[in-house]
Structure 1
């Protein structure tokens, strides 16, 4: 068989040219320095894994972009930025992105691709930490259920935009308010009374689901379901729209907004630096929160997406591209939002800080109000805008839901993926009906705080510590160098081995010390609701000690002491490694050769 050398060069660019998409995984000779230029089809079939693969590298890249660039980039980043120092916030944010966001993103992509497993089975590397995978899966399940409810709001506004007059620009007698009172905008009243039918207090209950939002919620879940009905084969095709269309609309809206009066004041307000805030710990905490929320690190979808890659795909390149695009999109969204808000402030005579709402209110109140004041075809801009938000939501929701499905299918491979997809989407829909009740926004705030932020900090910290300090930095670097065909630089080693775990641990301590009462619209949530939030967080975290206990005591060898069983559960299992038998043989040879060169003892420990 004809072969050619693979050079494990230091630093820089690409991996192997033959990336082997659609199951065309490159076959290898069982010597460390050779891969075949041509393969025998029969050999490929024998060596091909059962796991589905992406149809093309572009679909994988676009899916990662659609996953990371979500609705939060549009409403969360602009608000977090201007409330935490404006342009000055970009300094801690970019530092956090460079030393935490990118390293974790690359680590998770490489982990998933190396072993071709989802976020639970990837812990064959450190079996005692398997609970981290289950905890992140439950967190993803919780987050996707409320995230789709936000998509339902975009559907509601999308269809409302087809009316002759945008309904949030005129006073509705059913609101029972003084229409001459300008202290509260019609857009805000419409959002609270017509769309959410919000309850000011949930102490006495959250009410029943509203039929309008329930239909929008069902529509959103159907969109997610049909996007993933054939796994990555269908979600990859959807990504062409969900990853590209939003940028077309963003650019159109930015050009439109930038040409209006007051736009420059709005954009300057967005980036105006408040240098004194850089030294505040809260600003750095906000930078880490935004980075995690934006890139979707710690939840599991990144590992899941990469697990459907061919083993030799250049995932290093994709990690760089996605992290840069995600940051660029956040900035683009910030300029787009504040150019329009600047015009709104100019038209109403109000200050920009008074028209810029926090959270979803930024897009469903402030931005909707601004679009409603456009002189020409506001309905067109409104439909384009809310369709863009919906497409952003689909891209992210698909990734979270597929992460849950992949875990179940990995654990129970005999189950049909279609049945698992139907069951999980149906369960999420039923549980998520709580978010389309009059008290749903308060519940959403609670779940987001405890399962979307607090829990993920802990799980991400444990993830990086376990991989770098338990499995071993030298081991994981050796694995990735073999897979990518290039050396892992000192920057990655420093971040994985020291900076990320230490910094995340400090941030975790800070978040616990400074934790404040959860509020919605300035009103503290009831004590019972806070207690329920802690129960939810505990349910996600309890998986860690439970599965650690199971892993330690499932060893039936009575000759082993407790300490020996603990050590055994800290050692990579026989399932860890490349899924392809030929790649696995080549990997084991590479590890042995690497060991003999280093002369520092074995860098590869695996249960027999």
Structure 2
């Protein structure tokens, strides 16, 4: 007979709260179980299985290629072309590749693999996958909110690419000359006038972007929010229309779109690479990009930048990776997928960086200045100032290369924007399975367009900087940290490894155990704390955001993070029973429900039988 203390231990160990690692000698199907069957039946989230059978069958990818290409299209976005090169440049040049590759192996790939498993095992989106531990369901909602906010400004960048795409069909590229919008210090691509000595100069490409396209208000928010620019508004509308067309049939249509959005950019990038390395001065640009400054490796900010780049590039923590995996066959080898995609993304980043700086080196050679003087002002200036300026200097068909470059940029944007939207659409369709996908997609696109209008105003770029930091940076990092801790320290590393073995028939080695169980959650916590300590305020050019602007924008991060405790309370209240008390509700809310199992009825029954067997084995072990 078990005494009261032993009974309590058993009660807590049967899959409810697991804040430490289980013994490694418990192999394969011998880990600590989830709650016993009799307790699972009483869980509020496990009712209505008969109704679930009547619901429309969940979509699946038409084939493995569409899944892989969709993931590559999601990861290989505009950030690979402009962000990686600039981040590397600011953090040690070629030496940045060392921390980036280390972070990719120790954090990027393990977390990517983790998110694949979380989506594929229960065939559920970013919210419903938290049947693994309902207490943290708010993480899914927080990620969805942040992803939606990021998608609104991401599509505005696509609109900007579209604007430049259409402008590239001009007989003379408009940013190559100083138009009526130019200041007295404007310097065209081919100067035909001598400026007074001491006159402050600015390139025509920069003035074109700031004054003619964005019409940036130098006073920031002092004059309030202005009216949207009609040209950018039309480009924004067209961007959202194309996204809707790509997603109107769910992954069945977006999967077909991925053939183009994933492969076409590589064709253009290769063309630009071949053209770039044959230009005068290209070698100087490439060496500037790859020359290492090893002393930078000793500074924490370089490693922080590497983590940020890995998250941004791989789309980790946005709820997108697990969403795509949720449409896979249960037995799909996501380990191989994670390896292919993470290394493809890294290769593309480096290749795009070399291509970019070969062209930037040519620009520096043409201007007679150092490369460092050409690249300034952030990654966006690289894409919309330095690159256009360099393309305009091509002696052979500058319009053609400009059209191809901005079409490539737009295509990269479509792939990522479709992925972000898929996460949001999946959450809604999982909640309302009877609602046609095209209606959900239309609603998401219409709301996204209306919100995105703010980015077409003279203050749009200031808003973009704030949303990017508080939704795409702080929130995502915080939520990913919680996600890793919840799965590994609450649900349990050993239990999670058992699920991987059940799904893939694959053992999990020591490397993955250490990464998931120790290194990833601790390192993410350190990086998050460091980022908050070192944060010195946001700027856009020479404009410094005041406390009011950052205070209002921080609501985005507070909302995303605040959804975690809010949904925790909701789940506790839903489970609270006066006859059983609060303690039972709290234990319940940290327990995996029966929904954390395969969707296929036969596999689900097999998995539940495995759990029942483990429950009995645990009881016998504790009673001895």
TM-score computed with the length of structure 2 as normaliser: 0.87
2:602 is matched with which residue?
A: 582
Residue 488 (structure 1) shift: 1.5
2:208 is matched with which residue?
A: 190
Aligned equivalent of 1:73, options 63, 80, 100: 80
Q: Note if 1:266 corresponds to 2:288.
A: no
- Contact (CA 8 Å) 2:146, 2:556: kept in 1 or not? no
CA distance in 1 between counterparts of 2:381 and 2:361 reads: 16
Residue 173 (structure 1) shift: 2.4
- Contact (CA 8 Å) 1:49, 1:579: kept in 2 or not? no
- Going from structure 1 to structure 2, the CA distance change for 1:49 and 1:99 (only over 3 Å counts) comes to farther
Which stretches in structure 2 are left out of the alignment for 5+ residues? 1-52, 187-192
- Contact (CA 8 Å) 1:482, 1:590: kept in 2 or not? no
Aligned equivalent of 2:235, options 203, 213, 216: 216
5 Å matches for 1:114-129?
114-129=121-136
Q: Note if 1:138 corresponds to 2:145.
A: yes
- Contact (CA 8 Å) 2:181, 2:211: kept in 1 or not? no
Q: Note if 1:393 corresponds to 2:447.
A: no
- Going from structure 1 to structure 2, the CA distance change for 1:492 and 1:238 (only over 3 Å counts) comes to same
- Going from structure 1 to structure 2, the CA distance change for 1:556 and 1:212 (only over 3 Å counts) comes to same
Aligned equivalent of 1:237, options 242, 245, 256: 256
Residue 404 (structure 1) shift: 0.5
- Contact (CA 8 Å) 1:199, 1:206: kept in 2 or not? no
1:379 is matched with which residue?
A: 399
CA distance in 2 between counterparts of 1:522 and 1:476 reads: 49
CA distance in 2 between counterparts of 1:293 and 1:389 reads: 16
CA distance in 2 between counterparts of 1:245 and 1:416 reads: 30
Q: C-alpha offsets along residues 16-35 of structure 1, whole Å, 9 cap, x if unaligned? A: xxxxxxxxxxxxxxxxxxxx
CA distance in 2 between counterparts of 1:295 and 1:481 reads: 25
CA distance in 2 between counterparts of 1:324 and 1:600 reads: 46
Alignment size in residue pairs: 557
Q: Note if 1:153 corresponds to 2:173.
A: no
Aligned equivalent of 2:335, options 287, 311, 316: 316
2:461 is matched with which residue?
A: 441
- Contact (CA 8 Å) 2:331, 2:504: kept in 1 or not? yes
Residue 49 (structure 1) shift: 7.6
CA distance in 1 between counterparts of 2:67 and 2:615 reads: 34
CA distance in 1 between counterparts of 2:293 and 2:453 reads: 41
Aligned equivalent of 1:325, options 344, 348, 362: 344
Which stretches in structure 1 are left out of the alignment for 5+ residues? 1-45, 603-608
Q: C-alpha offsets along residues 138-163 of structure 1, whole Å, 9 cap, x if unaligned? A: 00110000000000010000000000
Q: Note if 1:353 corresponds to 2:361.
A: no
CA distance in 2 between counterparts of 1:208 and 1:48 reads: 45
- Contact (CA 8 Å) 2:576, 2:585: kept in 1 or not? no
- Point out the more displaced range, 148-157 or 530-539: 530-539
- Contact (CA 8 Å) 1:81, 1:89: kept in 2 or not? yes
CA distance in 1 between counterparts of 2:575 and 2:255 reads: 41
CA distance in 1 between counterparts of 2:583 and 2:267 reads: 59
- Contact (CA 8 Å) 1:47, 1:581: kept in 2 or not? no
2:447 is matched with which residue?
A: 427
- Contact (CA 8 Å) 1:47, 1:582: kept in 2 or not? no
5 Å matches for 1:16-95?
50-95=57-102
Aligned equivalent of 2:425, options 398, 405, 412: 405
5 Å matches for 1:561-580?
561-580=581-600
Residue 560 (structure 1) shift: 2.4
1:6 is matched with which residue?
A: none
Residue 561 (structure 1) shift: 2.9
CA distance in 2 between counterparts of 1:531 and 1:173 reads: 38
- Point out the more displaced range, 172-181 or 567-576: 172-181
2:357 is matched with which residue?
A: 338
Q: C-alpha offsets along residues 410-455 of structure 1, whole Å, 9 cap, x if unaligned? A: 1222322211111111001101100111110110000000000000
Residue 598 (structure 1) shift: 9.2
Residue 540 (structure 1) shift: 1.1
| Counterpart secondary structure, 1:103 | helix
5 Å matches for 1:539-558?
539-558=559-578
- Contact (CA 8 Å) 2:107, 2:515: kept in 1 or not? yes
Q: Note if 1:168 corresponds to 2:175.
A: yes
CA-atom RMSD in angstroms: 1.7
2:44 is matched with which residue?
A: none
1:39 is matched with which residue?
A: none
| Counterpart secondary structure, 1:158 | helix
CA distance in 2 between counterparts of 1:309 and 1:599 reads: 35
TM-score computed with the length of structure 1 as normaliser: 0.89
2:217 is matched with which residue?
A: 199
